[in-house]
Every structure is written in C-alpha cells, then in structure tokens.
Amino acid sequence: MTQLLVARDVTELAARAEQWLIELIRDHQATNSTPFSLALAGGSTPKALYQRLAASSKTSGIDWNRVLFLWGDERNVPADHADSNYRMVRESLLDKLEIGSQSILRIPTEGDDEAQVSQTALQYEIELKRQLPLNSDGLGVIDCVLLGMGDDVHTASLFPETTALRETSRWVVANYVPKLSTWRVTLTSPLINAAKQVAFFIAGSSKGPAINTLWHGPHQPELYPSQMIQPRPGELTFFVDKPTIEGLSVPSNNRMQ
Ligand code: 6PG
C-alpha cells in the first residue's frame, strides 16, 4: 500500500512530514537500541522539512545521537560547495543538533575524476555495510529514505538513461550524468527498495507533469527512474502539496490522507 499525504502548500507539507518522521524515529527509539538510519534527500524542496526538524529538535523527544544520518546522493563537489547536499543539510539541520560526528556519514566527494569518485562510492558502500542490518537478500536495510524528484522524474542521482539504473547488486555507485556533464554518487534502487520506509517529498506545480508521468505514464523506468522506487516489504509514502497534483487523479493503490 502506498500512502499519499496532500498538503495545502510546502509549509504545511513540511509540518506533516516533520510529524510523520518524528513519530517514526520516536517509535524506533522506544524499542530499539540501534540507531535510526535516515538517508536524506538533496536539492531544495526538503530544506523546509530539515529546518522544521532543527527548530523542534529539543522538544521532539528524539535522541539525535541515536540517528544515523546518511545521504541518498551527493554531487561531486567539496563539502563546503554551494551545490553540496551535505552542506545544505548541515546548514539547515545538523549544525542545530548537538550530535557527534559518528552520527553523520557524509558521502566524501571532493570534485574528483572518475577513478576517485568510483572509489568514493565504494568507500561509502563499505561503510554502509558496516553500519546497516541486512535483509534476507543481503541488502542493507535503511529505516527511512527521503527522496525528492526532478522534473525529469529522476530521484536521488538516478537520472534517465544512466548506468546506475541498471545496477542490481551494488548499494552505492558513481553515476555519470551526461545532461549535467558531471559525476554523482548515489544509492542504487536495490538499496532504496530494501528500506523500511521510503518517502517522496515533492512540492511545486512544476512537478505536476513529472508526478503525472510517474503515476499514470507508461512504465519505462529507464526514462522515468522514480518508477523504480517500489520498496518491498517496506512502505512508500508521497508527501505532495496541492499545486503539484492539481487536476491529477490519484492512483487506485494510494491511500489518500
Ligand atoms: C539532488 C537530489 C535530487 C533532488 C531532485 C529534486 O542531489 O539534486 O538528490 O534527486 O531531490 O532533483 O530537487 P528539488 O527538490 O530541488 O526540486
């Protein structure tokens, strides 16, 4: 079952996603001694959510030192670069939490060439293999993966017609994106689909056509990579705002809230 939560606008969307995520983490921490692993989305949309989590961090009842922060993908730039997903999350959330560096697993890109960015992807995968429990297929199980979606229906750095889409066993790969003429490092769809919870956080009317293609277009994941995201046995949730889905019909397998 896929869950769909629709909010009036991105502000309300961030509030609903914040409450959903806080409940998820609190429930985990109430019954587990292991850290709650949270893979964060890059881009700009989720920033409002991260800022809300930072603002409520002292009253949400979460032990942030028992959250393991991961990234769903990273641009091939240094950590202090304006385009860095790590920097966006650090500035909007991590700097406001009193947590140790052991809770933060940055993807260590530094603007490298193919050989080095491939090594970075391998290093990150090795670190995830150290930290994550495994499912029966030997894949790491992340507690929650937050994703955005681009106008071209990409997610993480799984871009249309790129080699990472065809990865069936690696957890993390370097992925060359011709349309951006750049390397990215990204979690693969097998790893994302092994997660307990996967949540898309999408806002803005510009994403309407992409969501329509995702839900109602032909099933062509090579062209529309977000169609690859079908966690099993994990759950999939869409956080969208009204402008994004104006005029769209909701797929029948969605439970609307
Ligand atoms: C990235 C993201 C990417 C992002 C989408 C949506 O590194 O850019 O991981 O997948 O989530 O491009 O980005 P916006 O939220 O900025 O529209």
pLDDT for position 255: 57
Count of structural domains, the chain: 1
Can you tell me the distance from the alpha carbon of 165 to that of 175, in angstroms, rounded to the nearest whole number? Answer: 9
pLDDT for position 253: 63
DSSP 78: -
Atom of ligand 1 lying closest to residue 46 CA? 15
Atom of ligand 1 lying closest to residue 157 CA? 10
Backbone angles phi, psi at 39, to 5 degrees: -95, 120
Q: What sign has the CA pseudo-torsion 122, 159, 195, 74?
A: positive
Best of 47, 71, 73 to mutate for ligand 1, by most ligand atoms within 8 A of CB? 73
Distance of CA 136 from the midpoint of ligand 1 (Å):
31
**Nearest Cα residue to atom 12 of ligand 1:** 150
**Nearest Cα residue to atom 10 of ligand 1:** 156
Distance of CA 109 from the midpoint of ligand 1 (Å):
17
Mean pLDDT, 10 residues at a time, over the chain (257 residues)? 90 97 98 97 96 97 97 97 98 96 95 93 98 98 98 98 98 98 98 98 94 96 98 97 87 62
DSSP of 203-243? -SGGGHHHHHHHHHS---TTTSGGGG---SSSEEEEEEEHH
Distance of CA 238 from the midpoint of ligand 1 (Å):
15
Cβ pair 214, 198 in contact under 8 A = no
**Which residue type occupies 78?**
P
pLDDT for position 105: 98
10: CATH:
3.40.50.1360
pLDDT for position 58: 96
pLDDT for position 256: 53
**Which residue type occupies 56?**
S
Task: Provide the residue range defining the domain that includes 195.
Answer: 2-256
Cα dihedral 225/20/84/36 (nearest 10):
-100
Token pair 């919870």 in the structure block, residue: 197
Distance of CA 202 from the midpoint of ligand 1 (Å):
9
pLDDT for position 257: 56
Distance of CA 39 from the midpoint of ligand 1 (Å):
13
Distance of CA 147 from the midpoint of ligand 1 (Å):
8
| Size (the chain), residues | 257
Can you tell me the distance from the alpha carbon of 28 to that of 31, in angstroms, rounded to the nearest whole number? Answer: 6
**Nearest Cα residue to atom 15 of ligand 1:** 45
Residue list, ligand 1 pocket, CB within 6 Å: 41-45, 72-73, 75, 85, 148-150, 154-157
DSSP of 89-147? HHHHTGGGS---GGGB------S--HHHHHHHHHHHHHHHHHHS-B-TTS-B--SEEEE
